[in-house]
């Protein structure tokens, strides 16, 4: 089963055990044994439905309007959350694309959860939407807006009223992203 | 019992109060009733609390003394100093009372001294960090402590078997295990005291500190089990007893934690209903936490664990429920109590060590113990870390392990436990006591002293504290949700999954139940950060605005913008300031935004328009009606005031102001002169008057200010206050203000430029230098604000300068130059324009001010004034009258350039010479 998957597709460079584990999970999620996952399959996960960002995270599994998620795609998304292994930082060919679990790619994953219209910027409106999801109903709309304003302004450096990816990374430069966006089990 | 600390005080007074020596207690049965005593001495009634208060006072005073020297406290941890102080005090007490007093009683320690410290650490424990590392903490606390206890005990027994411990130490294997169990536990008090000053990174700190808190359960269990085994006698111990011992580990730890959580629940629930009686909120926190401690202690559970869990569990809800003031009260009371207890503990430890009657020294035992606890601690840490790193996302590296091994300090808990041993059952108790004291002293003093250099040397990652930002908070939540979702997708129910579950549960039920409705509504972490940021901004805003207002003494109705600003909320303010502005007002200071500029204008307005009661003041004003450099001028005039007292200064200033106004109106009406020109005059005249006949009087007491001139001219005034003072013989008041440096740069085109500049807007914008200038204030005037300042210039300044005035300027320039620097050859020459001929001092401020290389030259106000005053003396008759004295002054300076005073420094470019 796992052997049948061409390893070249598995950009995540997961360990064999992890791949096997993920493959089992993939098959378990695939209810109708159709060989791919649909949005419905992911929405069935109970806890994901409660997650305020659940819908958006499911979206990120289906880039470019795809309706089907095959196993390589599944793995590729999850590869963002592989812990960064510090063993071979120098060995890698610089021409190779950055591994999916690099700090930048982790941040990019988070960024695109905010950036709904994919214009490379988190506008105030997009920020407000996220805040509405996260803060919950206890805070009034007006307060939410002022929070959104402030959040955008805080990170906004070039004064365009939106947070670009660069500004996004800058606002988080002190945070240990490698640690906060990794799951050990995905080694 | 005599109070050894107060023998001298007590004895004479006692003698005076009571006639009977042996029983000073009044009203003792043997005496006849003494009748109504005018004065009664009742030491014994207050003795106990009095002594307690006294000891705490001594300890606190000692702390103050320690912190008098920053150098000492930066090198030596406070705990070391306290222990040493305790040793000294103990020695004194021993010498005076001939017996050891005031020892660290285990009962006192466990019931009164330990709870505040543990509560403080539990309550203020960073819970997220704690739970993130819970696995490691638990491992080190349970496995590590067990490992340490058994290996140390067994190794000591082995040492004894090997004959390295003197045979008079009668101890069996069980005794050694008992000793090992009490000596092996890392002590929370000692760890906290030392690590708080070391500032290692958060993860490392929470692991060591969390371990020291949680290992209490293990220590208690081990100690009790071993103790009971020893008391039973090793022969009578059954196999079931061992099982019971193991079971009791779970009972004691889980039971303690459960007690703590129950009380945390009660506490949170109680504080939900204190809306009407806010005043008891802090009390409730302490009472219920203490109740948790006592309950756990009563049930022989781990009391430390109970209080830790109580503090950890209740904090979120309690903080939400109680009022802001109560929160502050809780925080400070808790910190005070903990600090007090810690101080007393360390001091009493020192005192207790003096009592040699409890000691029995055995070098083999002491050295062996020291070696074993260090060795096994290190070994245990390495082994456990190796295992843990298999499961940790971020492995603990070798440096972390070194610090963890070395940070395993022993403290008062071990000492109290060893004192509690029953000597009849443990014959080697005295040896154990001595060994424990040595171990505690060694770890606290030697390791405490060396851990800071070690951490520095190993370059351990330090904790970095940065201000929370909304972005970080928001994104952190996003990350949490993402990780939880990914774990869902992967189907692995790991840490993030459970944390997410817990948060859902907490949101749905616990918070609803334990938080009052109003608190629950606003209790969101993102909102909380936003709220705190706003508060901070508001405070800094008020600080800033308050400063401006205070410097002027009142709010002006004429300053609508300032007023409106004060009224708007910070958020609105931020929104107003637009995208270019940073949210943080502190940042706004450094970012030149429209708001900032507006502030500056306001500032100038205020400064110019109002009398300032403060010394540093004055500046220019841009009155809507009269905009002028004149004011600038005048502002500089005020410098000349020497203020012996505020009243005098005020009078002078008012006078000066009037003077200036008169002049202005006079000039404007009469000659329709550019204000820039007129400016010099008023200043001189006012100064003239002030100085009066005595030209010798220097310009003194000028409030220093920085003048910034538009980009056409770089003029910087620096007043050397010290020099001024010296120059001014009559003045006693010293101004410790920054000086004003006048840097004028002129190019060869001065002539034309002067004309141009006359028509140009010359905008002097001197600013008040507040006592604590903000970045913006420092930066604004000349560096950054040059272009912007033009905005403030009123149209009146743009009047055309009459030709005669221009010539006058030129003349004045040339005269100034000639007088100041006769044969100037150097490129940029610094010349001093002496307002006061008496003082001949060099300006101490180097001209490191930004040089404006632009050739364009605007007449610096001061120059203009000076030059004009000369030229006009011939040109304008009416003005001349007023300027007359000034002219004399200038002439004098001209005559004696060598004695030129340095108050005014004018720096010319080469080309400026005519």
pLDDT digits (tens, 9 = 90+) for B24-37: 444 444 555 667 77
Q: Which pLDDT score is estimated for B805?
A: 52
Residue B42 CB coordination number (10 Å): 12
Residue B154 CA to residue B166 CA, distance in Å, equals 17
Question: Is residue B612's pLDDT more than 90?
Answer: no
Taking an 8 Å cut-off on Cβ atoms, the answer to whether B472 and A174 are in contact is yes
- pLDDT, tens only, B540-573: 888 776 554 444 444 333 333 333 343 334 444 4
Residue B629 CA to residue B620 CA, distance in Å, equals 7
* In chain A, residues 56-75 whose CB comes closer than 8 Å to chain B: 57, 61
Q: Does A149 touch chain B (CB under 8 A)?
A: yes
Do the Cβ atoms of B183 and B440 come closer than 8 Å? no
Average pLDDT, stretch B373-383?
A: 92
Q: To which residue do tokens 């503090």 refer?
A: B311
User: Residue B627 in 3-state DSSP?
Assistant: strand
Residue B105 CA to residue B113 CA, distance in Å, equals 10
Give B144→chain A minimum CA distance, Å.
Answer: 24
Q: Which of B497, B507, B583 sits opposite A150 (nearest CB)?
A: B583
Taking an 8 Å cut-off on Cβ atoms, the answer to whether A153 and B489 are in contact is no
Q: Which of B475, B486, B578 sits opposite A183 (nearest CB)?
A: B486
Range with the poorest average pLDDT among A31-40, A41-50, B249-258, B705-714: B705-714
Taking an 8 Å cut-off on Cβ atoms, the answer to whether A47 and B490 are in contact is no
Q: Does A185 touch chain B (CB under 8 A)?
A: yes
Q: Which of A130, A134, A138 sits opposite B521 (nearest CB)?
A: A138
Q: Which pLDDT score is estimated for B862?
A: 45
A49: nearest CA partner in chain B? B485
A46: nearest CA partner in chain B? B488
- pLDDT, tens only, B395-413: 888 888 888 888 888 888 8
Q: Which pLDDT score is estimated for B380?
A: 92
Q: Which pLDDT score is estimated for B880?
A: 42
Do the Cβ atoms of B600 and B764 come closer than 8 Å? no
Q: Which pLDDT score is estimated for A100?
A: 73
Taking an 8 Å cut-off on Cβ atoms, the answer to whether B578 and A180 are in contact is no
Q: Does A139 touch chain B (CB under 8 A)?
A: yes
Paired with B833 in beta bridges are B904
B464: nearest CA partner in chain A? A174
- Distance (Å) of CA B568 to CA A161, B541, B554, B571, B572: 21, 11, 19, 8, 6
Q: Which pLDDT score is estimated for B261?
A: 94
Please report which confidence band the pLDDT of residue B664 belongs to, taking 50, 70 and 90 as the band edges. low
Q: Does A22 touch chain B (CB under 8 A)?
A: yes
**Position with higher pLDDT, B250 vs B235:** B250
Average pLDDT, stretch A9-30?
A: 76
- Distance (Å) of CA A30 to CA A1, A27, A74, B27: 15, 5, 12, 93
The size of the A-B interface in CB pairs under 8 A is 157
**Position with higher pLDDT, B497 vs B735:** B497
Q: Which of B464, B476, B521 sits opposite A180 (nearest CB)?
A: B476
Q: Which pLDDT score is estimated for A102?
A: 78
- pLDDT, tens only, B416-466: 888 888 888 888 888 888 899 899 999 888 888 888 888 888 888 777 776
Pick among B485, B519, B578 to test the A interface (most A CBs inside 10 A): B485
Please report which confidence band the pLDDT of residue A136 belongs to, taking 50, 70 and 90 as the band edges. low
Q: Which of B470, B489, B583 sits opposite A42 (nearest CB)?
A: B489
Question: Is residue B799's pLDDT more than 80?
Answer: no
**Position with higher pLDDT, B208 vs B582:** B208
Q: Which of B488, B496, B527 sits opposite A139 (nearest CB)?
A: B527
Taking an 8 Å cut-off on Cβ atoms, the answer to whether B475 and A172 are in contact is yes
Q: Which pLDDT score is estimated for B504?
A: 83
Q: Which pLDDT score is estimated for B334?
A: 92
Taking an 8 Å cut-off on Cβ atoms, the answer to whether A153 and B581 are in contact is yes
- pLDDT, tens only, A104-127: 888 888 888 888 888 888 888 888
Q: Which pLDDT score is estimated for B812?
A: 52
Question: Is residue B141's pLDDT more than 60?
Answer: yes
**What φ, ψ does residue B137 adopt, rounded to 5°?**
-60, -45
B392: nearest CA partner in chain A? A184
Q: Which pLDDT score is estimated for B641?
A: 41
Q: Which pLDDT score is estimated for B723?
A: 40
Residue B189 CA to residue A145 CA, distance in Å, equals 46
pTM: 0.62
- pLDDT, tens only, B874-886: 444 444 444 444 4
Range with the poorest average pLDDT among A183-187, B664-668, B864-868: B864-868
Beta strands in B705-855 (DSSP E): 705-706, 767-768, 829-833
Q: Which pLDDT score is estimated for B309?
A: 92
Q: Does A131 touch chain B (CB under 8 A)?
A: yes
Q: Which pLDDT score is estimated for B654?
A: 57
A47: nearest CA partner in chain B? B488
Residue A96 CB coordination number (10 Å): 7
A160: nearest CA partner in chain B? B579
DSSP string, B318-341: HHHHS-HHHHHHHHHHHHHHHHHH
- Residues counted in chain B: 914
Q: Which pLDDT score is estimated for B653?
A: 61
3-state secondary structure B500-561: HHHHHHHHHHHHHHHCCHHHHHHCCHHHHHHHHHHHHHHHHHHHHHHHHHHHHCCCCCCCHH
Taking an 8 Å cut-off on Cβ atoms, the answer to whether B579 and A156 are in contact is yes
Taking an 8 Å cut-off on Cβ atoms, the answer to whether A183 and B483 are in contact is yes
Residue B282 CA to residue B286 CA, distance in Å, equals 7
Tokens describing residue B490: 């992967």
Question: Is residue B813's pLDDT more than 70?
Answer: no
Give B125→chain A minimum CA distance, Å.
Answer: 20
Taking an 8 Å cut-off on Cβ atoms, the answer to whether A57 and B492 are in contact is no
Question: Is residue B712's pLDDT more than 80?
Answer: no
């Amino acid at each position: 089963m796992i052997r049948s998957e061409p390893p070249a597709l598995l950009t995540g460079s997961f360990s064999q055990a992890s791949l096997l584990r993920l493959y089992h999970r993939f098959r378990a999620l695939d209810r109708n044994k159709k060989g791919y996952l649909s949005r419905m399959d992911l929405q069935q996960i109970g806890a994901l439905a409660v997650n305020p960002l659940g819908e958006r995270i499911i979206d990120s599994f289906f880039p470019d309007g795809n309706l089907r998620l095959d196993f390589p795609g599944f793995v590729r998304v999850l590869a963002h959350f592989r812990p960064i292994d510090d063993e071979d930082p120098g060995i890698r060919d610089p021409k190779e694309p950055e591994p999916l679990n690099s700090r930048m790619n982790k941040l990019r994953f988070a960024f695109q959860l905010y950036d709904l219209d994919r214009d490379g910027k988190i506008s105030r409106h997009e920020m407000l939407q996220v805040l509405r999801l996260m803060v919950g109903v206890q805070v009034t709309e007006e307060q939410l807006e002022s929070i959104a304003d402030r959040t955008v302004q805080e990170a906004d450096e070039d004064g365009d009223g939106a947070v670009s990816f660069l500004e996004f990374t800058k606002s988080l430069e002190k945070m240990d992203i490698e640690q906060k966006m990794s799951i050990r089990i995905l080694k | 019992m005599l109070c050894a600390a107060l023998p001298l005080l007590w004895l004479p007074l006692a003698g005076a109060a009571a006639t009977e020596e042996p029983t000073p207690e009044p009203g003792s049965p043997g005496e006849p009733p003494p009748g109504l005593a005018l004065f009664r001495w009742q030491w014994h009634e207050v003795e106990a609390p009095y002594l307690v208060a006294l000891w705490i006072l001594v300890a606190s005073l000692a702390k103050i003394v320690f912190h008098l020297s920053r150098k000492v406290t930066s090198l030596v941890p406070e705990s070391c100093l306290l222990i040493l102080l305790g040793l000294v005090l103990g020695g004194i007490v021993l010498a005076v009372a001939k017996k050891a007093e005031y020892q660290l009683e285990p009962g006192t320690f466990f019931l009164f001294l330990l709870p505040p410290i543990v509560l403080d650490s539990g309550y203020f424990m960073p819970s997220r960090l704690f739970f993130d590392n819970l696995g490691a903490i638990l491992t080190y606390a349970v496995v590590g402590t067990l490992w340490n206890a058994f290996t140390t005990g067994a190794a000591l027994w082995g040492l004894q078997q090997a004959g390295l411990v003197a045979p008079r130490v009668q101890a069996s294997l069980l005794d050694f295990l008992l000793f090992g169990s009490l000596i092996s536990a890392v002590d929370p008090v000692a760890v906290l005291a030392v690590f708080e000053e070391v500032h290692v990174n958060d993860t490392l700190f929470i692991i060591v500190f969390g371990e020291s808190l949680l290992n209490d359960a293990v220590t208690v269990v081990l100690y009790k089990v071993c103790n009971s085994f020893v008391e039973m006698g090793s022969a009578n111990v059954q196999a079931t007893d061992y099982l019971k011992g193991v079971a009791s580990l779970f009972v004691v730890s889980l039971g303690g934690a459960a007690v703590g959580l129950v009380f945390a629940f009660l506490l949170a629930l109680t504080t939900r209903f204190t809306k009407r009686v806010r005043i008891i909120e802090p009390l409730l926190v302490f009472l219920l936490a203490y109740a948790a401690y006592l309950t756990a202690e009563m049930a022989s559970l781990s009391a430390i664990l109970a209080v830790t869990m109580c503090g950890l569990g209740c904090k979120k809800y309690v903080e939400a429920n109680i009022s802001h003031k109560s929160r502050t009260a809780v925080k400070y009371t808790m910190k005070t109590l903990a600090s007090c207890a810690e101080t007393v503990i360390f001091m009493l430890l020192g005192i207790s060590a003096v009592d040699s009657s409890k000691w029995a020294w055995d070098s083999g035992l002491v050295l062996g113990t020291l070696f074993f606890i260090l060795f096994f601690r290190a070994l245990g840490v390495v082994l456990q870390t190796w295992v843990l790193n298999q499961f940790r996302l971020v492995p603990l590296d070798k440096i972390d392990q070194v610090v963890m091994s070395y940070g395993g300090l022993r403290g008062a808990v071990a000492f109290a436990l060893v004192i509690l041993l029953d000597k009849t059952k443990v014959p080697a108790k005295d040896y154990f006591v001595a060994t424990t004291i040595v171990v505690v002293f060694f770890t606290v003093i030697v390791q405490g002293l060396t851990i800071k250099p070690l951490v520095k040397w190993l370059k351990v990652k330090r904790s970095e504290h940065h201000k929370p930002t909304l972005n970080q908070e928001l994104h952190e939540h996003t990350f949490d949700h993402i990780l939880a979702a990914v774990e869902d997708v992967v189907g692995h129910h790991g840490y993030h999954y459970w944390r997410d579950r817990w948060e859902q549960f907490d949101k749905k039920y616990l918070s609803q139940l334990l938080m009052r409705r109003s608190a629950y509504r606003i209790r969101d972490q993102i909102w909380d950060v936003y709220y705190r940021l706003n508060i901070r901004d508001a405070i800094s805003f008020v600080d800033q605005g308050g400063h401006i207002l205070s410097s002027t003494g009142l709010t002006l109705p004429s300053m609508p913008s300032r007023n409106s600003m004060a009224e708007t909320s910070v958020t609105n303010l931020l929104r107003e300031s637009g995208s270019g502005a940073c949210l943080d007002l502190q940042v706004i200071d450094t970012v030149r935004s429209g708001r900032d500029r507006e502030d500056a204008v306001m500032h100038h307005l205020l400064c110019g328009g109002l009398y300032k009661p403060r010394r540093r003041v004055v500046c220019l004003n841009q009155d809507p009606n009269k905009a002028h450099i004149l004011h600038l001028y005048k502002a500089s005039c005020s410098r000349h005031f020497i203020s012996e007292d505020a009243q005098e200064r005020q009078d002078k200033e008012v006078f000066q102001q009037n003077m200036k106004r008169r002049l202005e109106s006079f000039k404007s009406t009469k000659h329709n002169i550019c204000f820039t020109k007129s400016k010099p005059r008023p200043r001189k005249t006012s100064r003239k008057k002030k100085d009066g006949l005595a030209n010798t009087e220097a310009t003194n007491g000028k409030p220093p200010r920085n003048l910034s001139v538009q980009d056409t001219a770089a003029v910087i005034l620096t007043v050397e206050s010290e020099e001024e003072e010296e120059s001014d013989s009559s003045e006693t008041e010293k101004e410790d203000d920054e000086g004003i440096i006048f840097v004028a740069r002129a190019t060869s085109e001065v002539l034309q430029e002067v004309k141009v500049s006359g028509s140009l807007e010359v905008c002097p914008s001197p600013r008040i230098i507040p006592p604590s200038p903000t970045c913006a204030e420092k930066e604004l005037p000349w560096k950054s604000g040059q272009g912007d300042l033009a905005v403030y210039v009123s149209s009146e300044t743009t009047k055309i300068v009459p030709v005669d005035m221009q010539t006058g300027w030129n003349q004045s320039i040339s005269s100034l130059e000639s007088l100041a620097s006769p044969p100037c050859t150097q490129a940029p020459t610094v010349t001093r324009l002496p307002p006061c001929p008496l003082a001949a001092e060099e300006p101490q401020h180097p001209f490191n001010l930004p040089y404006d290389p632009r050739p364009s030259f605007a007449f610096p106000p001061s120059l203009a004034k000076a030059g004009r005053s000369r030229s006009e003396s011939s040109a304008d008759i009416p003005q001349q009258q007023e300027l007359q004295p000034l002219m004399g002054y200038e002439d004098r300076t001209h005559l004696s350039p060598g004695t030129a005073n340095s108050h005014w420094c004018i720096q010319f470019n080469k080309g400026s010479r005519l």
